[in-house]
Copies of this chain bind each other. A is one copy, B any other.
């Protein structure tokens, strides 16, 4: 397995897409030195975006996290979340009535800002649910799984409305040793129980890459896919998705794929990054 220095490859690209967790940050916060990477990108005039399966809050709040840690350039416009895709879907396809959701109130505020009317699943009365036109899975937190997931099942059985999953991740890291069940896994369970097809947004599906790609072009970025690099720590989300969209891809070993397993996982899955780098951190 040949390792390449991250610094040695990025000069070739005009736009870089980064996964967030495992690439820029981990349980302790930002990766030490990652600010140098962004300083270098700014200096070289290389454009960059964060692509994240996250619908728990709106991009502005996601950006504030990075800015609060000193990454001043990571403004809202540089964040592309699966929640933004779901929001676009709802704007285009659900123009009236109420949207039932599971997740925190914070995640629902993001939808309400668009003028969509939302109701938490805990407040849904199945006997008076005729005006509910969609069910949205936003976050694993903020609701009672026992009661509200059962209500999701019965709402979808009694009404033929679309179910939208805003984050396909089945789990996410909670601490150095523990993971948490993600809203993607909860939605998959409800989908299997009701036997319907849900509409799902997030990596590795192509739609988030095209969203980021179009967004970058609108802001003056290159339309030449050969000049765009996807950087991620997860073969099946970041690298498979980036490859399929036609981008060059760099696997970093600071997150989900450990150095000791990387070669075996690449061979087993047959997912081939263009480059393998120790880290996205570059020395000043």
Cβ-defined partner of A270 (8 Å) among B189, B192, B194? B194
**Interface assignment of A51: CB less than 8 Å from any CB of chain B:** no
Cβ-defined partner of A245 (8 Å) among B163, B171, B195, B207? B207
Q: How far is the CB of A5 from chain B (nearest CB, A)?
A: 22
Complex Cα–Cα for A186 and B236 (A):
22
| Contact B246–A88 (Cβ < 8 Å) | yes
A178: chain B residues at CB < 8 Å are 126, 154, 157
| Contact A246–B188 (Cβ < 8 Å) | no
Knowing A160-B267, A207-B210 touch, does A246 contact B93 (C-beta < 8 A)? yes
**Interface assignment of A125: CB less than 8 Å from any CB of chain B:** no
**Interface assignment of A199: CB less than 8 Å from any CB of chain B:** yes
Contact with B along A183-220 (1 / 0, CB 8 A): 00110111011111111000001110010000000000
**Interface assignment of A256: CB less than 8 Å from any CB of chain B:** no
| Contact A199–B160 (Cβ < 8 Å) | no
**Interface assignment of A44: CB less than 8 Å from any CB of chain B:** no
Complex Cα–Cα for A179 and B194 (A):
10
A160: chain B residues at CB < 8 Å are 266-267, 270, 272
Q: How far is the CB of A106 from chain B (nearest CB, A)?
A: 17
**Interface assignment of A144: CB less than 8 Å from any CB of chain B:** yes
A267: chain B residues at CB < 8 Å are 160
Complex Cα–Cα for A271 and B247 (A):
31
Binds B, one of A10-18, A59-67, A116-124, A145-153: A145-153
Q: How far is the CB of A28 from chain B (nearest CB, A)?
A: 19
Within 8 A of B (CB), among A117-176: 126, 144-146, 149-150, 153-154, 156-158, 160-163, 170-171
Sample (23) of A-B pairs whose CB atoms are under 8 Å apart:
A93-B246, A126-B178, A144-B146, A145-B145, A145-B146, A149-B181, A150-B180, A153-B180, A153-B181, A154-B177, A160-B267, A160-B270, A161-B270, A170-B192, A171-B193, A179-B193, A194-B270, A198-B270, A205-B205, A206-B206, A206-B210, A207-B210, A207-B244
